[in-house]
Structure 1
Amino acid sequence: MKYKSVFDIIGPVMIGPSSSHTAGAARIGRVARTLFEKQPEKVNVSFYGSFAQTYKGHGTDVAIIGGILDFDTYDPRIPNSIKLAEQAGIDITFIEEDAVTDHPNTARIWMTDGTKQLEVVGISIGGGKIEITELNGFELKLSGAHPAILVVHDDKYGAISSVTNILAKYRINIGHMEVARKEVGKTALMVIEVDQNIEEGVIREIQSSPNIIQVTRMVE
């Protein structure tokens, strides 16, 4: 792994003992909250590998719930996040999984508000860095470190180009893009990381394009 600066080695400013198990977990939770777009009523968190073995001692549980409450890695409320979430009416369940995953620091978050559901799988890859590897059954690779849009769309001709043409019109540069689908001709997911935050008007224009079902924006 290559590091861009000494801060990539030291890790982020954070509450807790471990950049991988605490800061990374908080970021996974916060990305899940961003994708859900609101506070959930019920959260199930499944821990795998070393997360499952050490989450209580390393504060992975409070960190991931802190992220779901939209706390940053250095927020002093993180140690009390489970209590704060319960006071806010959020039902929380932690599950220690035995299944072997591709990465030892893996968490699966399922959340609902009674009307919508979201399931996210994230891994903590070291130094507080993360990757979201699955969203509602779609495989993807999302760092959460850059502005991005996630576009759910019908798997039809022209859907992808309609989105990229709009981004080009507004001179928005794409840093990373990938498309995932479960079945040909059904629903697909575009993940597009860009170099600057995308204005709400651009999001509305994308949302109104043919074959676009839902657009979720992640700002830096």
Structure 2
Amino acid sequence: MKFRSVFDIIGPVMIGPSSSHTAGAARIGKMARELFGRQPNWAKIHLYGSFAKTYKGHGTDVALVGGLLGFDTYDERIKEALELADQANLNIEFIEEDGSAEHPNTARIHMGDEDGEFELVGISIGGGKAEITELNGFELRLTGRSPAILVMHNDRFGAIASVTNVLANYKINIGHMEVARREEGKDAMMIIETDERIPKDIMEELKTCDHISQVVTISD
């Protein structure tokens, strides 16, 4: 694993006790909320490996819920996240899984409300960093370290070009991009990491592109 600065080694500014079990977990929860686009009414959180064994003692439970409430890793409210979730009518269920996962610090979050459901898999990779490795059945790699957008679209000719052309017109550089589909001609997904946050007016323009069904921004 490569570190970009000394702060990656020291760890993030955070509510403790563990950068991997607390700060990383909070990032997973917060990315889940951002990708869902709103606070869910309920969430079933499946914990694997080390997360399942130590989540209460290391604050993984409050960190994940704090992230779902939109709290950053350094937000003091994380300590009271479970109580605040109850006050916000966010019903939480933790499920300790016996099965193994590819990474020891893995959480699968299934959440939703009256308008829809959503599921992702996140891993905490150390130093407060986290990655999303699966989203609604699509495999991907989303770090959350750079500004990024999620684009859901139909697998049709020209869909990808319509999005990248808009970004090119506004001179927005793409640092990393992944495209995935379940099967030819069906639902597909783009994850695009950029060098700068995409303004709201450009996000609205992206939503009008050919064959695009949803565009969601993910903060850096």
The separation in 2 between residues aligned to 1:219 and 1:83, in whole angstroms, is 26
Cα drift, residue 2 of structure 1? 1.9
Cα drift, residue 193 of structure 1? 0.3
The aligned residue for residue 194 of structure 2 is 194
The separation in 1 between residues aligned to 2:60 and 2:219, in whole angstroms, is 24
The separation in 2 between residues aligned to 1:60 and 1:219, in whole angstroms, is 22
The separation in 2 between residues aligned to 1:145 and 1:86, in whole angstroms, is 30
The aligned residue for residue 59 of structure 2 is 59
Cα drift, residue 73 of structure 1? 0.5
The separation in 1 between residues aligned to 2:138 and 2:3, in whole angstroms, is 29
The separation in 1 between residues aligned to 2:51 and 2:219, in whole angstroms, is 28
Q: SS at 1:118's partner residue?
A: strand
Contact 1:132/1:141 (<8 A) preserved: yes
The aligned residue for residue 157 of structure 1 is 157
The aligned residue for residue 27 of structure 2 is 27
The aligned residue for residue 124 of structure 1 is 124
Contact 2:174/2:193 (<8 A) preserved: yes
The CA deviation string for residues 162-196 of structure 1, in whole angstroms up to 9 with x for no partner, is 11111000000000001011111101000000010
Q: SS at 1:77's partner residue?
A: helix
Does 1:100 find its partner at 2:100? yes
The CA deviation string for residues 119-161 of structure 1, in whole angstroms up to 9 with x for no partner, is 1110000001111011111111101111111100010111111
The aligned residue for residue 43 of structure 1 is 43
The separation in 2 between residues aligned to 1:59 and 1:76, in whole angstroms, is 13
- RMSD (CA atoms): 0.8
The separation in 2 between residues aligned to 1:25 and 1:34, in whole angstroms, is 14
The aligned residue for residue 203 of structure 2 is 203
The aligned residue for residue 142 of structure 1 is 142
Name stretches of at least 5 consecutive residues in structure 2 with no aligned partner.
none
Contact 2:173/2:195 (<8 A) preserved: yes
Q: TM-score, normalised by structure 2?
A: 0.98
Contact 1:198/1:219 (<8 A) preserved: no
The separation in 1 between residues aligned to 2:153 and 2:163, in whole angstroms, is 10
The CA deviation string for residues 74-101 of structure 1, in whole angstroms up to 9 with x for no partner, is 1111111001101111111000011211
Cα drift, residue 39 of structure 1? 1.4
The separation in 1 between residues aligned to 2:2 and 2:62, in whole angstroms, is 30
Q: Report sequence identity in percent.
A: 63
Cα drift, residue 216 of structure 1? 0.6
Does 1:174 find its partner at 2:174? yes
Contact 2:33/2:69 (<8 A) preserved: yes
The separation in 1 between residues aligned to 2:108 and 2:142, in whole angstroms, is 15
Contact 2:144/2:219 (<8 A) preserved: no
Q: SS at 1:28's partner residue?
A: helix
Q: How many residues align?
A: 220
Cα drift, residue 219 of structure 1? 2.8
The aligned residue for residue 215 of structure 1 is 215
The aligned residue for residue 12 of structure 2 is 12
Q: TM-score, normalised by structure 1?
A: 0.98
